[in-house]
Structure 1
Amino acid sequence: MSTEISIKDAAQMLSISEQRVRTLCRIDELEARKVGNSWQINMESLNKYGLKTAHMVAENHAAYTTTSKPVALSFFSGAMGLDLGIEKAGFEVRLACEVDKYCRQTIALNRPNTALLDDITKYSAEQIRKEAGLTASDDIDLIAGGPPCQAFSTAGKRKGFNDERGNVFLKYLDLCLELKPKYFVIENVRGLLSCPMDHRPHDQRGDGFPDLSEDELKGGALNFVISRLDNSGYGYSFNLYNSANFGTPQIRERVILIGSRDGTPPPYLIPTHTEDGSLGLPKWNNLRQAISDIDKHEHLNFPEKRLKYYRLLKSGQNWRNLPEELQKEAMGKSFYSGGGKTGFLRRLAWDRPSPTLVTHPAMPATDLAHPDMDRPLSVQEYKRIQQFPDDWQLAGPLVQQYKQVGNAVPVGLGFSVGKLVMDLIQGVDVLSPVGFKYSRYKNTCDVEWRKLFNAQLKVTGSLSDRLQA
């Protein structure tokens, strides 16, 4: 029988009034039964409510149960988009490591038996094995994680590994090499391909200044990572993948590096969709297929000053589709600035994948408006676009729920990663399509990227030779 507690104890655990607890019982927010004039509350129901509403803390704990499936460990787990895909491919995600309060509560709500840890820098490889229920001799099949990407984002200051968030990237790499899994995955933003390890200010370059060092070149941070891998014996490959090519109704590009303990570079991910239906694959999934049948919506709202323009726009349109005078009125000074500005007053198109989801759908420069309705996308629509199950519970206030889903790896992309690794573990022959265009950008796979980086080195070396002469 489930443990039950009193109104008084429940109020203390949630730090709310006893009257509020009674109300939650009456409106069935808490599972409870009436005994005389009072209530007896189901403890499991109370824990779930407390986590979802952020009234309770998700505590660290070891794995409560284990299975015989191939073992995966997750770091920087977020709302578990990557992990859900890996699970779908047949792995047991034995451990999740995450510092964000609301993400931790989401993990505890949905995967209560999975080990939960917080700051990755606090744990040794030995401690991680222990918390995951693994002995020193147990093999780890897969480690997966997306270290914080802000240090490498093209929108940030590009501090790379000199940023504190960059340092946890290196901690993650160290753990991967020490734990020695069969395979490990690093997921990150496109900026990782071009971010230097050490950034030299632009006013300190050119005539009168030394040439850029190897660490200061574009891509210096990634070069440092793969130099570590070269010395470790791990084989690796990476590419910039568009999630729409893997069934996600969203154009979202992420760098995914896969390391292999046997020293063999893994093949690239196998696409399941193409933009035009080539290679005998289905066309990209679109927004209508993803969200048109959702009934219940929780969403933020646009201010009235923006709604007046949205009422004039149709599916797939943005501010450029307004009459010129209204464009100037709506955009203000931004009208005269450069750049595409396609995120301003943007209605999504029914017949296309969504653009990349952001952490807030109603910020002026990155609006994500419903194709027809005068509102931003709802959290439920966010979940569908990122391919989370409808019953996946998100903890915290609405803005935090948007943030968790917006930061996630699409489940379809995670599944493609998991399936590739599972096939390799099981000895299945995997053949990547020859000449497939994974991204709209050039030099984004490991082979082409290395050629480009080496070309920079040659230029820098020739300049140094001339100066010495």
Structure 2
Amino acid sequence: MTLNCASFFAGVGGIDLGFEKAGFKIVYANEIDSKAVETYELNFEDLKVDNRDIHEVVRDIEIGIDPFNGKKINVVLAGFPCQAFSIAGYQEGFEDKKGRGGLFFEIMKIVEFAKPEFIFLENVKNLMGHDKGKTYKIIKGALKAKDYFVDERIFNSMEYGNVPQNRERIYIVAFKNENSLRKFKWPDPIKLDKTLDKILDYSTKLDDVYYYTKERFKRFSEIEPYITKRDTVYQWRRVYVRENKSNVCPTLTANMGTGGHNVPLILTDHGIRKLTPRECFDLQGFPSDYKLPEKLANSYLYKQAGNSVSVSVIQRIAEAVFKVL
């Protein structure tokens, strides 16, 4: 049996890749960011991404146009924008001035049209506690109002995805069949054996653009005394350096490539440097053969990695879902 997935806010395909590896088939993907689409289509060669605002997709549905071209959609996937709920943002939630909080309700309009057997949502951990729990209560209530049976967990990638990154996210499952939810078993924690030294390259000399030196970085004297160990990842947070004492990488963020806040730094044989985009994708659990567009600026690739998901965590959840469906 083929289980077809439609993916929204698909980004570079992290959720889709996890579900594909678990046995699902991605038949539709929607993503508004054309640079992310470039990376997505490089890796999902048989799929043309619908590069439009989700509101346009919903408007099509409302006038009788089927975005899925008659294909039965068994699963809806959505890593809907998290900035509105993130502790790194302004936490405006559904009142977010850029309209990102309300995008969840566009997903629900698509759910009403597609009537999938299963919905999978991913977001920041803070979604659960945002506005004293009211935000998540509304989201869960909206799913239940469409007759879905819902459960959620907050997982850390270093505990559930075997990647050395401290990344906590909420994962939400919604089954149309109550018995399916009863049968569904969340993954158990697994041992972290993929340590930093298996992902990060401490010995090879890379392009100068990655290194922080006194010639290239005017505040070098503020970071050099604090970056002294090779088995950890530091964060330059504009005004101070923070060492991650868990021997894992701190949470990767979308703005880590801008040279300002939250830049992950390591000490190598050739000096202090920031992570490469490839290392950031590896820390998200993307496979080594996942392609990055050669002509895309590093700033876009850092943003894509930071905005993405931990593929290895998604895959484990998707495998548990596949067994049920």
Name which one, 1 or 2, has greater alpha-carbon Rg.
Answer: 1
Q: Distance in 1 between matches of 2:81 and 2:152?
A: 18
Q: Distance in 1 between matches of 2:102 and 2:237?
A: 39
Does residue 56 of structure 2 align to residue 122 of structure 1? yes
Does residue 154 of structure 2 align to residue 240 of structure 1? yes
Does residue 186 of structure 2 align to residue 269 of structure 1? yes
DSSP-derived class of the 1:305 partner: coil
What's the TM-score, normalizing by structure 1? 0.59
1:8-27 equivalent positions in 2, closer than 5 A: none
- Cα displacement string for residues 324-353 of structure 1 (whole angstroms, at most 9, x for unaligned residues): xxxxxx999x5xxxxxxxxx324667x822
DSSP-derived class of the 2:218 partner: helix
Does residue 187 of structure 2 align to residue 251 of structure 1? no
The CA deviation at 1:406 is 1.2
Other-structure match for 1:36: none
The CA deviation at 1:114 is 1.3
In structure 1, what residue type is equivalent to 2:16? D
From 389, 401, 423, the equivalent of 2:287 is 389
Q: CA separation of 1:146/1:317 partners in 2, compared to 1, >3 Å: closer, same or farther?
A: closer
Q: Distance in 1 between matches of 2:33 and 2:313?
A: 23
- Cα displacement string for residues 37-78 of structure 1 (whole angstroms, at most 9, x for unaligned residues): xxxxxxxxxxxxxxxxxxxxxxxxxxxxxxx74211111011
Other-structure match for 2:276: 378
The CA deviation at 1:301 is 4.4
From 249, 256, 266, the equivalent of 1:354 is 249
1:175-324 equivalent positions in 2, closer than 5 A: 175-196=110-131, 218-246=132-160, 247-264=162-179, 265=181, 267=184, 269-273=186-190, 282-283=191-192, 285-292=194-201, 297=206, 300-302=210-212, 303-312=216-225, 313-315=227-229, 316=232
Q: CA separation of 1:309/1:72 partners in 2, compared to 1, >3 Å: closer, same or farther?
A: same
The CA deviation at 1:361 is 4.6
In structure 2, what residue type is equivalent to 1:235? F
Q: Distance in 1 between matches of 2:32 and 2:265?
A: 31
The CA deviation at 1:157 is 2.5
In the alignment of these two chains, the number of paired residues is 305
The CA deviation at 1:130 is 4.5
Q: CA separation of 1:131/1:115 partners in 2, compared to 1, >3 Å: closer, same or farther?
A: farther
Q: Distance in 1 between matches of 2:33 and 2:323?
A: 33
In structure 2, what residue type is equivalent to 1:369? L
Unaligned ranges ≥5, structure 1: 1-67, 197-217, 274-281, 320-329, 335-343, 426-469
Other-structure match for 1:416: 316
CA contact (8 A) 1:348 1:369 kept: no
Unaligned ranges ≥5, structure 2: none
CA contact (8 A) 2:147 2:176 kept: yes
Q: CA separation of 1:331/1:295 partners in 2, compared to 1, >3 Å: closer, same or farther?
A: closer
1:62-101 equivalent positions in 2, closer than 5 A: 69-101=2-34
CA contact (8 A) 1:379 1:401 kept: yes
Q: CA separation of 1:177/1:131 partners in 2, compared to 1, >3 Å: closer, same or farther?
A: closer
Q: Distance in 2 between matches of 1:424 and 1:296?
A: 48
Percent pairwise identity: 26
From 40, 52, 70, the equivalent of 1:134 is 70
DSSP-derived class of the 2:29 partner: strand
Alpha-carbon RMSD across the aligned residues, in angstroms, is 3.0
CA contact (8 A) 1:245 1:284 kept: no
CA contact (8 A) 2:121 2:171 kept: yes
Q: CA separation of 1:296/1:111 partners in 2, compared to 1, >3 Å: closer, same or farther?
A: farther
CA contact (8 A) 1:297 1:379 kept: no
The CA deviation at 1:409 is 0.3
Q: CA separation of 1:300/1:348 partners in 2, compared to 1, >3 Å: closer, same or farther?
A: farther
The CA deviation at 1:169 is 1.4
Q: CA separation of 1:363/1:331 partners in 2, compared to 1, >3 Å: closer, same or farther?
A: closer
Q: Distance in 1 between matches of 2:286 and 2:206?
A: 15
CA contact (8 A) 2:266 2:273 kept: yes
CA contact (8 A) 2:57 2:67 kept: no
Q: Distance in 1 between matches of 2:32 and 2:69?
A: 21
Other-structure match for 1:452: none
Misfit runs of 4+, over 6 Å: none
The CA deviation at 1:93 is 1.2
1:34-53 equivalent positions in 2, closer than 5 A: none
CA contact (8 A) 2:286 2:312 kept: no
Q: CA separation of 1:393/1:285 partners in 2, compared to 1, >3 Å: closer, same or farther?
A: closer
The CA deviation at 1:356 is 0.8
CA contact (8 A) 2:202 2:267 kept: no
